[in-house]
Amino acid sequence: MAQYILFDLDGTLTDSGPGIIEAVLYALERMGRPEPDVEKVCRTFIGPPLTVSFSSLYGFTPEQCQQAIAYFREDYNDKGIYNNRPYDGIPELLRDLKAAGKTLAVATSKPYQLAERVLEHFDLRQYFDLVCGGSMDETRNQKDLIIQDALEALSVTDLSQAVMVGDRNLDVLGAHKNGLRCIGILYGGYGTREELEEAKADWIAADPAEVGRILLG
């Protein structure tokens, strides 16, 4: 099986939903667009870049998106970031992959600095050879570009030796755009089987143990 394993972060390694949702609701309130439907926020904001979600769901202009993101950071960067936890079985999965000699990377649209803080806080950083994330101003956050950055940094030349693991269609589509196969995961609670099947995920795993069985054969 593949030597290089790229993981999404939010909704794949950690359940960051509560902190993100809280910060989004705060930002929308500050923008004068209070959102009573928490479930809608949950479905839309966990995974995709903030600019994509704010613009597609609320019709925000680029300038309004930047202001909403600034409000989001007020709540999230010091408080919401830690309203989060690794999914059960993730530390064990990462340990087993490293013990098998795999090269692990994080490829997330989350700003790089915040991704590093989350991984360090939950003692997961030790397992990863590389962390690739977006920019703090969200100007470079497209998943396919983040995956491309990770592949280049790892000097991957044989794409059959790399696999992406993620919970949303953007993970699958970004992987396929770079010529990678992708394992779609269901245990995160944000992406759905229908979403992953429509994006043509190469495998769909119900829990971290199943991810391990796919990757370790």
Reference 208, options 31, 49, 14; nearest CA is 14
Q: Mind giving me the DSSP string for 130-161? A: EEEEE-TTSSS--HHHHHHHHHHHTT---GGG
Hey, what are 112's tokens?
A: 């790089």
CA-closest candidate to residue 116, choices 132, 100, 135, 92: 132
User: What average pLDDT does the structure give for the chain?
Assistant: 95
Candidates 8, 149, 167, 171; catalytic one: 8
- Does the annotation count 171 as an active-site position? no
pLDDT digits (tens, 9 = 90+) for 30-54: 999 999 999 888 888 987 889 999 9
Q: What are the tokens at 148?
A: 């491309």
Other CB atoms within 10 A of residue 59 CB: 9
Confidence of residue 138 (pLDDT cuts 50, 70, 90): confident
User: Can you list the domains of the chain with their CATH numbers?
Assistant: 4-15+84-216 (3.40.50.1000), 17-82 (1.10.150.240)
Residues of the chain with pLDDT > 70, as a percent, come to: 100
6 DSSP β-pair partners: 105, 164
pLDDT, residue 40, reads 86
Distance separating alpha carbons of residues 111 and 209, to the nearest angstrom: 28
- 143-191: pLDDT as tens digits: 999 999 999 999 999 999 999 999 999 999 999 999 999 999 999 989 9
Residues 6+ apart with CB under 8 A from 188: 11, 12, 15, 46, 87, 167
pTM of the entire structure?
0.93
Residue type, 75: D
Task: Determine the 3-state secondary structure of 99 from DSSP.
Answer: helix
Question: Coil, strand or helix: which one is 47?
Answer: coil
